[in-house]
Amino acid sequence: MNVFINLPVADLDRTRQFFAGLGFGFDDTFSDDKAVAMKLSDAASVMLLRREFFQTFTPRPLNDGSTTEVLVAVQCESRAAVDAMVARALATGGAAVRPPEDHGFMYGHAFADPDGHIWEPFWMNPGGAANG
């Protein structure tokens, strides 16, 4: 099963530069002047859509970044990778959302991208909570 997350953005070029700075790749086959296809994994992608184009898919008003509609959690291979992603996000125009959270078996942090979408990189012990 593949997952495609669709997010409205104000500036495609700025958005692409921001996520490229975090190390994400893109699929130019599905990118144009209205959308950028960002690869999270072989089975998950994020369609970053100009706000005007995104609006054509829903009759509901769009979030303006001052409220939260979705949290995008992205699993990382280590605690250090979580911290590195947040540091890159803050250095390339993202904003801090909250301090890191350490639950022993799981470690996470969060940042907002330039459009206010909240991303939560996290690491989880492969053994899970029972072994954490």
The CATH 3.10.180.10 portion of the chain extends over 1-57, 68-132
* Residue 132 pLDDT: 44
Q: Which CATH code is given to the segment(s) 68-132?
A: 3.10.180.10
pLDDT, tens digit, for every residue of 5-15? 999 999 999 99
Q: Where are the alpha helices (DSSP H) in the chain?
A: 12-21, 51-55, 79-91
* Residue 127 pLDDT: 77
- Contacts of 83 by beta carbon, 8 Å cutoff, 6+ apart: 100, 109
* Residue 2 pLDDT: 87
- Contacts of 85 by beta carbon, 8 Å cutoff, 6+ apart: 22, 23, 74, 76, 109, 121
Fold category of 1-57 in CATH:
2,3-Dihydroxybiphenyl 1,2-Dioxygenase; domain 1 (3.10.180)
Residue 131 has pLDDT above 60, yes or no: no
Residue 21 has pLDDT above 90, yes or no: yes
Q: What residue type is assigned to position 51 of the chain?
A: R
CB 40 within 8 A of CB 74: yes
pLDDT, tens digit, for every residue of 61-118? 988 777 888 899 999 999 999 999 999 999 999 999 999 999 999 999 999 999 999 9
* Residue 129 pLDDT: 62
Low-confidence winner among 15-24, 52-61, 94-103, 123-132 (lowest mean pLDDT):
123-132
- As a whole number, mean pLDDT of residues 37-51 equals 95
